[in-house]
Amino acid sequence: MAAFAMNLGICSITRAELRGAVEGLQLAWDMGYRHVRMDLDSRCAIQLIQGEDTADHQHAAVIDRFHELLRRDWDVKVSHIYREGNKSADYLASRGHKLDIGFHFVPVTDPALWFYLLYDIEGVSESRLVLNEG
């Protein structure tokens, strides 16, 4: 198992999600995993990945790289997960903001990471406040 965090500098949330997905797939491939389940909490990123005509999109190069990785000889399932069920990814994203620009491995022995991984695995739920205007 491996974990990573990235600091991309100033960019959109969607670009960060897409770059994280690409880096995660590349890392999984490099580590020899051939059956991968990727949970993303960005519906926008998933729609772009699953879209057919993204050639003129501002994130076309990252989306193309994602598709290149998917064409390799492996089984990758991409699905949406609510942000509340993806606390470990939120932790790593927050940690990335505090690091130098670039890709950084995070030790899987990090106690905070383990806490959030267990939180995700156990499916601990939180209430989500939705305001009804009107």
pLDDT band for 126, please (50, 70, 90 cuts).
low
The predicted pLDDT at position 28 comes to: 96
Burial of 32 from C-beta contacts in 10 A (0-12 / 13-18 / 19+): exposed
The rounded distance, in Å, linking the Cα atoms of 11 and 8 is: 7
Q: What CATH architecture applies to the domain 3-122?
A: 2-Layer Sandwich (3.30)
What does the pLDDT look like over 6-28, one tens digit per residue?
Answer: 999 999 999 999 999 999 999 99
Q: Give the start-to-end residue ranges of the domains of the chain.
A: 3-122
Beta pairing, strands 3-7 & 102-106? antiparallel
Of 30-34, 53-57, 95-99, 126-130, least confident by mean pLDDT is 126-130
pLDDT band for 134, please (50, 70, 90 cuts).
low
pTM of the entire structure?
0.81
What does the pLDDT look like over 71-117, one tens digit per residue?
Answer: 999 999 999 988 777 888 888 888 888 989 999 889 888 888 888 88
